[in-house]
Structure 1
C-alpha cells in the first residue's frame, strides 16, 4: 500500500485545490495548501494554475431610487440582467526541502484571497457596483518534525506567512443625468463614478499536527491558521469623475478630488482537517472538513486620513467616507473522494464537495456543490504531471437590504435575484522530486 500513496494522492490533492478555487466563499481564491510538505524524499517542487469559469448572472435588478442612477426624472436606466463574475486564474508554487531525515520545510507562494465582480456601468445597480477586485499574495514558510509513535509517525507542524492584500471598488456616486442637468455641456467627460483604491499587509502563523501510517496509506492532519491583522489599510477615494464645482451644492468637500483614506480589517482564521486512508490495494479514500471565520469581515469603513486624530474609523464613525459592505457569515467546506492507481505511471481520482455560502444578503456567494476529477501521470520517479477539471452549481439567492453594525441597513441601493448557475474549472500542475 505504501508504494501507491504518492501516486494516488497526487491526483487527489489536485482536486482539493480545484475545489477551493472554484467554490470561493467569502474572499477565498486559492486558500492555503501545505500538502507538498508531506512529499517523501529530500526535495520536491510544484507549480500549477487553476482556471475558473463562473457563470453567475444577476437578474430582475431594481434600482431602489432611480433618480440617483443612470436615468433621469425618476426613470431608471440600464440593464436589469447582467453577468457578474469574470473568469479568473489562481497560480501556486512551492518548494519542499528535507533538512534531515525527520525535519522538512516548505517555502510557498499562493494567492489565498481574491474576488472580482464586473457587472459594468450600464446596469441599474451601478450605484452599488461597477467593478470590484481584491487581490492577494502570500509568501509562506512551513516546517514539520516527525517522530515515531506506535505504528506510525506523528508530525508537528508550524509556520508563518507574510501577506499582501490590495484592490479597488468602482461605483456610481452621482447620476450622470444630474450632472448634465446642473452643468449642461460642461458636464461632458464626467461619468459620475467614484473609485476606492486600497492596499495593506500583515503577518500570520499556523500550527498543527499530522499522524501517518505509510503501510496503510493513512494520514490525518489538523492545521490551525491564525488570523492576519492587516493593521491600517491605506488607500484613496477618487471622485474626480464628478465636477469639483458641484462640491458646494452637494455639500461634499471631497467631490472633484482624490482623498487619502484609511481603514482596518483582519483576514480570517481557519481550521482544516484532512484525512486519507487506503481501503484496498491501489485504492484510496480521502476528504476534508474546513472552517473559515469569514464573519470577521462585516463592514470595512474608510475615513479621510486627515481625520485620524479625531477618532477611530468604524461603521458608525461620523467621518466615514465610504465602505466595503460584506457582512459575511462563517464558511464551511466538506469534501470526500476516491483515488485509484492503475499502474506505476497513471492514477486518477474523483471528489464531491459542498461549500456553505458566506452571503447574508450582500453578495452572490451562496452554497456551492462541485464534482471534480483529475489524472496524474508519472513518466518516471522524479516527475509527475496532473490535469483536472470540475463542474458545479452555484445556488440561487437574492441581494437586498441587510442589517449592518451601528443599527444601520446596508444594501439599500439596489435589489436583485440570481438563479442556480454553472461553475467550471480546469487545472494543470507539475512536480519535480528527488
Structure 2
C-alpha cells in the first residue's frame, strides 16, 4: 500500500473525532492534551479548532442532607450541567530534516455547574466553575529504525487553573440560624512536562505513539472566601490558600492503513483523577470566630477515581478533496457513588475537505450517552462525601461539535 492512498484528511479526522470525545470525558477534562499537529508532514503548519459541547444532565429526587438546615419545600429537580466551548490553536515547524517543534494553546481542564439557589441541594452547590489555560512547547527528533522511523518526543507546558464556587452556608450558633451564600474564588499555576516515543511507517500510514504528560503541581493556590452574606459581622472576604496537583496522563494511540483509502485508529488513555478527593483550603491569617490557619475552613469535595478512556474508529478517503471518519469512545466515570461522573459512551462522526494540498477544513460531531446513577452519602478512604445533598439522575444525552482549519506550507 502506498502512502498516497491514505488521505491526510483521514489522519486529521481521527484527531478531530478524538477532540470532540475528549470534551465529553469525565473528571475535569475539557480539551485534554493533544500533540497530533507535531506529526504533520508539512515543513510549517498552523491549526485552530473550537469545540462546543451541550450536555443535558438533570438531577432528580433531591434531598437536603445538610446538618441543622432544611431546604424541604424547594424544587427537587435541577439542571446539573452547562454548555461550554473548548478552543485550541497551534503551530508547528520542521527544523532540518529530522526535528519538529510545535507551540500550542489549549484549555485542558474545566467544569461548570449552575443549578442555582432555588433547589433542595443549594447547600451543596449553587454554581461551580473551573477554567484553565495551557501554553506548551513540544519537540521531536526522528531517525530510521527498521522499516520505519522512531521518533523521540519531549516538551514542557505552563498551566493556569482558576475558578469559583458558590453554595448556601448555614450556621446555627447558640440556636440562632444564619443563612446566606458563601463564595470561594481560587487561582493557581504551575509547570509540567511531557515525554514520549512514536514509531511510524509512512508507506502504510502506520503510527503508534505513547506519551506521558506529567502532573502540574499547584503548590500555591490562593483566593478569597466571602461569607459576608452569611454573617454581617464578618467585615469582608478573607484570604485562603491550598494546594492540589493537576493529573498526570498517559495515552497510547495507534493508527494504520488497512486497505486502499481506509484507515483504522484507536487509543487508550489513563488519567490520574484519583488524587482529586477533598481539597482543603485554609485561612491565610486567623479570622476571629471563623477560622484559624491550621484547620480547613472549607473544601472542594470531588471523591474521584482514575479515569480510563478507550476509543476506536475507521476513516475513508472518498476522493482527492473529501474524507470521512466514525469513532466510538467509552469513558469510565470518575465518580464513586458521589457526584454525576458516570460512564459515557460517545459516537463521533467527521468530514474533512481539502480544496488544495495546503488547506484543510474539518468538522466533527458527537452524540454521547451519559449513564444514570445516584449521588449518595458515602465514605471514601475515611472521608465522608455527599453529606449536604443526595439525588438521582437518569440516562442523559450530550452533543458536541468541533470545527477546525489547518494551513500547511
Q: TM-score, normalised by structure 2?
A: 0.95
State the match for 1:54 in structure 2: 55
State the match for 2:295 in structure 1: 319
1:227-238 alignment to 2 at 5 Å? Answer: 227-238=215-226
State the match for 2:278 in structure 1: 299
Query: 1:318 Cα deviation (Å)?
Result: 5.4
SS at match of 1:428: strand
- Moved segments of 4+, more than 6 Å: none
1:39-50 alignment to 2 at 5 Å? Answer: 39-50=40-51
State the match for 1:375 in structure 2: 351
Q: Is the 1:5–1:217 contact (alpha carbons within 8 Å) kept by the matching residues of 2?
A: no
Q: Distance in 1 between matches of 2:121 and 2:239?
A: 26
Question: Does the alignment pair 1:212 with 2:200?
Answer: yes
Q: Which runs of 5+ in 1 are unaligned?
A: 71-75, 246-254
State the match for 1:251 in structure 2: none
Q: Distance in 2 between matches of 1:81 and 1:38?
A: 47
SS at match of 1:174: strand
**Change beyond 3 A, Cα 1:241–1:69:** farther
Query: 1:402 Cα deviation (Å)?
Result: 2.1
State the match for 1:157 in structure 2: 153
1:285-296 alignment to 2 at 5 Å? Answer: 285-296=264-275
Q: Which runs of 5+ in 2 are unaligned?
A: none
Query: 1:13 Cα deviation (Å)?
Result: 1.0
State the match for 1:36 in structure 2: 37
Q: Is the 1:128–1:172 contact (alpha carbons within 8 Å) kept by the matching residues of 2?
A: yes
Query: 1:77 Cα deviation (Å)?
Result: 3.1
Query: 1:194 Cα deviation (Å)?
Result: 0.2
State the match for 2:15 in structure 1: 13
State the match for 1:421 in structure 2: 396
SS at match of 1:365: coil
Decide which structure has greater helix share.
1
SS at match of 2:31: coil
**Change beyond 3 A, Cα 1:106–1:262:** same
Instruction: Describe the superposition over 1:331-372 as per-residue Cα deviations: whole angstroms up to 9, x where unpaired.
Output: 000010000001110000000000000001332011000000
Q: Is the 1:69–1:172 contact (alpha carbons within 8 Å) kept by the matching residues of 2?
A: no
Q: Distance in 1 between matches of 2:41 and 2:407?
A: 12
State the match for 1:397 in structure 2: 373
Q: Distance in 2 between matches of 1:347 and 1:156?
A: 29
Decide which structure has greater strand share.
2
Q: Distance in 2 between matches of 1:225 and 1:67?
A: 44
Q: How many residue pairs align between the two structures? A: 402
Query: 1:48 Cα deviation (Å)?
Result: 0.9
Query: 1:296 Cα deviation (Å)?
Result: 1.1
1:355-374 alignment to 2 at 5 Å? Answer: 355-374=331-350
State the match for 1:73 in structure 2: none
SS at match of 2:8: helix
Instruction: Describe the superposition over 1:148-198 as per-residue Cα deviations: whole angstroms up to 9, x where unpaired.
Output: 0111000000000000000001000028xx89x969xxx9xxx70000100
SS at match of 1:306: coil
State the match for 1:248 in structure 2: none
Q: Distance in 2 between matches of 1:289 and 1:37?
A: 19
State the match for 1:201 in structure 2: 189
- One of 251, 254, 257 as aligned partner of 1:278: 257
State the match for 2:65 in structure 1: 64
Q: Is the 2:66–2:123 contact (alpha carbons within 8 Å) kept by the matching residues of 1?
A: no
- One of 292, 304, 307 as aligned partner of 1:328: 304
